[in-house]
Amino acid sequence: MGATVGTLYTSIFGCTTPAAEEAASACEPTVNQTMGPFHPNKDQQDKDFDLTSFNGSDAQPQGEPIYVRGKVTDENCNPIPGAVVMLWQANTHGKYSHEYDHSSAEYDPNFQGWGQVTTNEKGEYGFKTIKPGAYPLSEGSADYRTPHIHFKFSRRGYHELITQLYFEGEELNETDVLLGGLNAEEKAQVVRPKTTGAEDIEDGASLVTFDVVLENAKDNSTENRLKELSGKYSVDIEPHEMKEELSQFYGGQREELTLTITTENGLLYAEMPIQPKCEVKPIGDNVYAYLAFEADIHFQQDDNGKVTGLQLKRYYEFPTLSAEKIN
């Protein structure tokens, strides 16, 4: 098994297509997108690059097999070795392998659901998976998410990148709420074609090349200021829409929610019980983008400059949430 996996892992690193090389040549940081509610929240023994082989079983998941290959570079077009790449997605029926996905879509026990790899010395990574299915925004909704794959790229010295990969030619691309919010240049970064005929993949499988550029971490705040922002914040979730969202996506009713802000290696991170720790990026004075929660964090301070709380100004039509600093 080890030799087979090693051979397959080596084979999924391939030459990038000319289109992908051209897209990455500008070395513009790849656009961030929301993490969504179904980021893996529990570890599992099998979380390697091959999502079509789960826990040693010979049974194959349903759906169209695809290989996703790419290269991770910095803004100077240099490859980034040692970057951690996490992928998670719905199965071919549009259902996630996640305890909070309560949809009626069919669960596939032979699909791994998510995986994690590290880029090689050339900054390359690769996964074997299946093309995900579309799914409604909520049970019974007429609005659907187009097929997409979630990614998180992280490496010390660079801003964390959370984004999504889309497939060229999908009809639902025209109406997808998240893809529709991107401009033409951003769409070109994340909407990629599927190709066939590669010599090192099996018949019936497709190849998608997804190169990304990470933004170099810049020292936008002093260490002391980051420490002042750090702490625990009690979030007021009284707005009806928020309680409904928590119930639908995050495992039942909650009467309180704590947001924890920490600093690490000169960067600021946010974490809640419903979401893992993710970097929040400075976008203005006392304002940080918290893409994992689809919000901007506006830190508040008193007349003496002491941080007293924050507001989570959420994107789209979500309500603004207030939070008091409790330590």
Tens of pLDDT, residues 244-301: 666 555 555 566 788 999 998 889 999 988 778 999 999 888 999 998 888 899 999 9
Looking at residue 255, its pLDDT comes to 66
Q: 59-89 burial, b if ≥16 CB within 10 A, otherwise e?
A: eebebebbbbbbbbbbeeeeebeebbbbbbb
Indicate the pLDDT class of residue 175, thresholds 50, 70 and 90: very high
Indicate the pLDDT class of residue 12, thresholds 50, 70 and 90: very low
Looking at residue 248, its pLDDT comes to 56
**φ, ψ at 231 (rounded to 5°):** 145, -170
Q: Where does the chain hold its CATH 2.60.130.10 domain(s)? A: 2-213
The CATH number of the structural domain formed by 2-213 is 2.60.130.10
- Identity of residue 28: E
Q: Give, in degrees to the nearest 5, the angle at Cα 115 between 113 and 119.
A: 155
CATH of 223-325, one of 2.60.120.10, 2.40.128.50, 3.90.700.10, 2.60.40.420: 2.40.128.50
d(CA 132, CA 291): 22
E strand or H helix at 190: helix 184-190
Mapped onto helix, strand or coil, the DSSP state of residue 244 is helix
**Contact assessment for residue 290 and residue 229, using Cβ atoms and an 8 Å cutoff:** no
Indicate the pLDDT class of residue 50, thresholds 50, 70 and 90: very high
Indicate the pLDDT class of residue 123, thresholds 50, 70 and 90: very high
Looking at residue 39, its pLDDT comes to 86
E strand or H helix at 277: strand 275-284
Task: Give me the half-sphere count of Cα atoms (radius 13 Å) on the Cβ side of residue 307.
Answer: 24
The answer, yes or no, to whether residue 75 has pLDDT greater than 50, is yes
d(CA 87, CA 39): 9
Looking at residue 291, its pLDDT comes to 84
Mean of all residue pLDDT scores within the chain: 86
The answer, yes or no, to whether residue 8 has pLDDT greater than 70, is no
Q: Where does the chain hold its CATH 2.40.128.50 domain(s)? A: 223-325
pTM of the model: 0.77
